[in-house]
């Protein structure tokens, strides 16, 4: 890794627009169609009085695979999405034009395990300049330890309590889910091309990590917020294991609304192996 190039990386400003169709595709790919006759669910699926899923913010302002830029000298093939944080500043409109900026905020040298790269995405509404959401992405570059520390790192996520959860929800992923979710913007071939996933040591293309986070957002709204998008204020997750299409996920929650909720997700069909861990959200 060329740490100097990483910390000074110049991202282009991202101007984009999304439509009701984009918001509905995202909702279909993240769990909102599990009860298609329920009026509360239909608010996220029907263009008549559409509500945009709050975690749709996670697909805005994405800078792409910038770590494969030769100038940063990162072994991007060994790169993994480690953690992702989202803070919402207002509800997302059903359709909007946005302006997003990205900047690297910190490096943490993990020695033989590699290095953690943290970057922040600030999303605003194009017309008003009103803040919409702030995202913090943490990526582990497994081949790039020894770079030294620089800048700020987000606070460590806490372990979930060592007791039975206060609430659980089970949601099944579908084998077609990554084919649908990729239409929200993440076109990495590892989610669709069997040759690419096989070369990465996977038995088949895997589900996007942010699709799993979107499912967690849906589970939070369903369990604690009466599916009211305005009540989810922030959310942070750690990705611990790939989710394969067809896995059944159980979301386990500690806490109650309003307030801070801790949670994790496990793959039931894989012996309750955690796929999201040390997660937290704030709901009103």
Task: Please give the structure tokens belonging to residue 97.
Answer: 């034009």
Query: How is the chain split into domains, by residue range?
Result: 3-283
Q: What pTM was estimated for this model as a whole? A: 0.95
Among 186, 188, 193, 272, the active-site one is: 186
Structure confidence at residue 231 as a pLDDT band (50, 70, 90): very high
Among 41, 118, 191, 208, the active-site one is: 191
Does pLDDT of 202 surpass 90? Answer: no
pLDDT for res 133 = 98
Contacts of 263 (CB under 8 A, 6+ apart): 160, 165, 216, 220, 251, 252, 253, 254, 276, 279, 280, 281
Task: Please give the structure tokens belonging to residue 86.
Answer: 């989202």
Evaluate whether 112 touches 72 at the Cβ level (below 8 Å): no
With pLDDT > 70 as the criterion, what percentage of the chain qualifies? Answer: 100
pLDDT for res 200 = 78
Look up the CATH architecture of domain 3-283.
Roll (3.10)
Within the chain, where are the H helices? 3-7, 20-28, 39-42, 177-181, 194-199, 209-224
Residue 49 burial (CB < 10 Å; 0-12/13-18/19+)? Answer: exposed
Q: Catalytic annotation on 122?
A: no
Would you mind telling me the total number of residues written for the chain in this entry?
Answer: 284
Task: Please give the structure tokens belonging to residue 266.
Answer: 């496990």
pLDDT for res 199 = 84
Contacts of 159 (CB under 8 A, 6+ apart): 278
Dihedrals phi, psi of 258, to nearest 5 degrees:
-80, 155
Contacts of 62 (CB under 8 A, 6+ apart): 14, 121, 185, 186
Model pLDDT for residues 11-62, shown as the tens digit of each residue: 999 999 999 999 999 999 999 999 999 999 999 999 999 999 999 999 999 9
Task: Please give the structure tokens belonging to residue 30.
Answer: 């993240």
Residues forming a β-bridge with 135 = 86, 121
- The kind and range of the H/E element at 70 are none
Q: Look at residues 277, 243, 248, 249 and name the one whose alpha carbon lies nearest to residue 262.
A: 277
Beta-carbon neighbour count of residue 61 at 10 Å? 25
Dihedrals phi, psi of 263, to nearest 5 degrees:
-160, 170
Model pLDDT for residues 242-269, shown as the tens digit of each residue: 999 999 999 999 999 999 999 999 999 9
Q: Catalytic annotation on 41?
A: no
First to last CA, the chain: 42
């Amino acid at each position: 890794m060329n740490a100097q190039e990483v910390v000074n990386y110049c991202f282009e400003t991202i101007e984009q627009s999304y439509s009701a169709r984009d918001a509905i595709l995202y909702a279909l790919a993240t769990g909102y169609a599990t009860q298609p006759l329920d009026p509360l669910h239909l608010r996220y699926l029907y263009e008549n009085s559409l509500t945009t899923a709050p975690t749709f913010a996670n697909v805005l302002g994405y800078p792409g695979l910038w770590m494969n830029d030769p100038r940063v000298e990162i072994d991007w093939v060994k790169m993994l999405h480690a953690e992702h944080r989202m803070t919402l500043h207002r509800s997302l409109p059903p359709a909007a034009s946005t302006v997003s900026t990205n900047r690297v905020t910190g490096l943490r040298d993990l020695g033989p395990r590699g290095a953690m790269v943290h970057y922040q995405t600030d999303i605003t509404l194009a017309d008003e300049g009103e803040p919409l959401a702030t995202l913090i992405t943490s990526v582990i570059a497994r081949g790039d330890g020894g770079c030294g520390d620089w800048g700020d790192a987000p606070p460590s996520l806490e372990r979930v309590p060592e007791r039975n959860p206060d609430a659980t929800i089970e949601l099944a992923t579908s084998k077609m889910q990554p084919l649908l979710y990729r239409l929200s913007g993440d076109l990495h071939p590892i989610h669709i091309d069997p040759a690419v996933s096989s070369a990465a040591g996977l038995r088949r293309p895997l589900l996007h990590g942010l699709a799993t986070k979107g499912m967690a957002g849906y589970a939070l709204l369903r369990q604690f917020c009466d599916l009211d998008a305005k009540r989810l204020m922030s959310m942070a997750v750690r990705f611990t294991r790939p989710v394969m299409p067809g896995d059944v996920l159980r979301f386990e929650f500690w806490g109650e609304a309003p307030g801070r909720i801790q949670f994790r997700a496990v793959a039931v069909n894989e012996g309750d192996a955690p796929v999201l861990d040390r997660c937290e959200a704030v709901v009103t």
